[in-house]
Amino acid sequence: MIIFAIVLICLCMITFPNAKINLGLNVVSRRADGYHNLETLFYPINLCDALEFVLAEQTSLRVVGSPIADDIEQNLVVRALRLLQRDFDLPELEIALLKIIPMGAGLGGGSADAAFMLKMLNENFQLKLSVEQLEKYATKLGSDCAFFIRNTPVFATGIGNEFTSVELSLKGYYLALVKPEIHVSTAEAYAHVACQRWNTPLLDVLAMPIEKWSDYLFNDFEISVFEVHPELAVIKQKLYKSGAVYAAMSGSGSAMYGIFKIKPKLNFPNHHVFMLDL
């Protein structure tokens, strides 16, 4: 009994999946397969969920901080487990997930949870999968899941699944995230976005001083999403008035963020506000 308890403790794993923001998002064109070609920069931030598991006779999932579907097999974390179980002799698990990253916010919370589950399974059960192999598995779960395997700033193209590493650091700045009680449907956002290629390529814009980003760095979803949810545009303007050197919507929304040189005092009643160091 003591030996079993020691083994169980050793196989209790915990990890902290983090969110990301999009620095610029150019919807370049619509593809023949119905998806869209994108150009964006994924930047990891230190807003984290907590994910853990222990051995169990039957897989279960407990989520705190967010509603969960009746069928846990549809959850990305469980799907990550099932994906590796197809190729490896992995046990059933009791999984617990504490959600801090808001869902449906354009912050990649669900994708991060899935990717970190893959990494945790690989480490704990010594599957010896390489980073490249983990990325291939992650891509099967979602177009941006693979980003969270290396979890470093990347220039993303294709449908958001082709990555090129970039040297970009916002260390020393502060990030304010504002998440209103608004849900933006990703399908609806794509249905109304106007495809175009920017005059100044995204990487050229990001090479400019951050003070110039507001004139050249855009999120193409903002035009159509702000028409439906004008309060998001109000949040963006309030971030600028509070001293942000750059402010934008992340992904297809609805989280808005501002980058500050000096830690601001913000007043966004009835909204979720996170203040982070970059």
For the chain, list the domains and their CATH numbers: 2-165 (3.30.230.10), 174-277 (3.30.70.890)
* Confidence at residue 252, expressed as pLDDT on a 0 to 100 scale: 87
The CA radius of gyration of the chain, in Å to the nearest whole number, is 20
Q: How confident is the model at residue 4 (pLDDT cuts 50, 70, 90)?
A: very low
Single-letter code of the amino acid located at 222: E
Element (H, E) at 256: strand 256-260
**22: its two tokens:** 């999009």
Rounded to whole angstroms, the Cα distance separating 25 from 217 reads 8
Query: Is residue 62 pLDDT above 50, yes or no?
Result: yes
Active site residue 215: no
* Confidence at residue 33, expressed as pLDDT on a 0 to 100 scale: 85
Q: How confident is the model at residue 169 (pLDDT cuts 50, 70, 90)?
A: very high
Q: What is the mean pLDDT of residues 212-233?
A: 95
Q: How confident is the model at residue 2 (pLDDT cuts 50, 70, 90)?
A: very low
Query: Is residue 236 pLDDT above 50, yes or no?
Result: yes
Active site residue 70: no
Phi then psi for residue 213, to 5 deg, are -60, -35
Q: What is the mean pLDDT of residues 117-125?
A: 97
* Confidence at residue 1, expressed as pLDDT on a 0 to 100 scale: 37
Whole-number Cα distances in Å, 244 to 46, 119, 160: 19, 35, 27
Query: Is residue 34 pLDDT above 80, yes or no?
Result: no
**278: its two tokens:** 């970059």
**166: its two tokens:** 């970039």
Q: 218 near 247, Cβ under 8 Å?
A: no
Choosing from 113, 144, 179, 220, the catalytic residue is 144
Element (H, E) at 244: none
Q: What is the mean pLDDT of residues 171-194?
A: 89
Rounded to whole angstroms, the Cα distance separating 172 from 99 reads 27
Lowest mean pLDDT among 6-15, 58-67, 144-153, 215-224: 6-15
Query: Is residue 11 pLDDT above 60, yes or no?
Result: no
Helix (H, G, I), strand (E, B) or coil at 32: coil
CB-CB neighbours of 269 under 10 Å: 5
Choosing from 20, 99, 119, 236, the catalytic residue is 20
Query: Is residue 3 pLDDT above 80, yes or no?
Result: no
* Confidence at residue 232, expressed as pLDDT on a 0 to 100 scale: 96
The reply to whether omega before 252 is within 30° of 0 (cis) is: no
* Confidence at residue 12, expressed as pLDDT on a 0 to 100 scale: 60
Crossing angle (nearest 10°) for helices 131-139 and 109-124: 140
Whole-number Cα distances in Å, 120 to 81, 113, 117, 124: 10, 10, 5, 6
Query: Is residue 7 pLDDT above 60, yes or no?
Result: no
